[in-house]
Amino acid sequence: MSVHWEDQIRDGDRVAAVYRSGLIGLTNDDAFDRLMELAVAVTGAPRGVIALVDDVNTTAISGYGFPEGLPLFAPIAYSFCRYVVGFGRPFMVEDSLNDPRTIGDPAIEAFGAVAWIGFPIEDPQGNVLGNFCLMDSEPREWSMVDIQTVATLAQAAGTEIALRLERALSLSAQEKLSTFEIKAT
């Protein structure tokens, strides 16, 4: 039996991990913005997004090159991110207008995603929380440097998320310990 991308998108453990990350609703975060700026500088891609994907929406936690006022979230159907998260592997399109996987996809018109490259962002347990992607409004052949850059920065975004989770756990443990110490005295 083959698994359809929608099955993984809706997986309860994966969706819970997205919310456990504490990043839904985060905007203008320096750490993620610097990763995105580096990706754009190295590849020359005009737009990029670091996005989390729950079971309904794709939510940008960092974006570059989009018009002011563009919503930071979109239904899953309007995002190529669904392929990365749904299959748990990179997804690349050089010309979405002529690629049989994407012809007629709403993401093309909504975001001008003619060329698109995305890599999964995973938490420490291997749950795919979202993706790190770049896009162009023109057909584009993604170079090995582009591919390696996005792959490496997607891993860096996952590491940043892991560090934040560890810090949150540590702070929670410290709070519990201090409460215990107060009660013990």
| CATH number of the domain within which 147 lies | 3.30.450.40
Distance CA 117, CA 100 (A): 16
For the chain, list residues with pLDDT below 70.
1-5, 69-71, 168-185
**Where is 58: in which H helix or E strand?**
strand 57-64
Distance CA 105, CA 99 (A): 10
Bridge partners of 64, per DSSP, are 48
How high is the pLDDT of residue 47?
Answer: 94
Distance CA 154, CA 150 (A): 6
How high is the pLDDT of residue 75?
Answer: 86
How high is the pLDDT of residue 173?
Answer: 58
Q: Are 85 and 109 in contact (CB under 8 A)?
A: no
pTM: 0.87
How high is the pLDDT of residue 1?
Answer: 35
Phi, psi values for residue 56, rounded to 5°: -125, -45
Distance CA 107, CA 76 (A): 9
Residue 70 domain boundaries: 5-184
Domains identified in the chain, total number: 1
How high is the pLDDT of residue 91?
Answer: 96
How high is the pLDDT of residue 25?
Answer: 77
Distance CA 115, CA 113 (A): 6
Q: To which residue do tokens 């591919």 refer? A: 147
Q: b/e map of 139-156 (b: 16 or more CB within 10 Å)?
A: ebebeeebeebbebbbeb
pLDDT tens sequence across 105-158: 888 888 889 999 999 999 999 999 999 999 999 999 999 999 999 999 999 999
- The letter for the amino acid at 62 is S
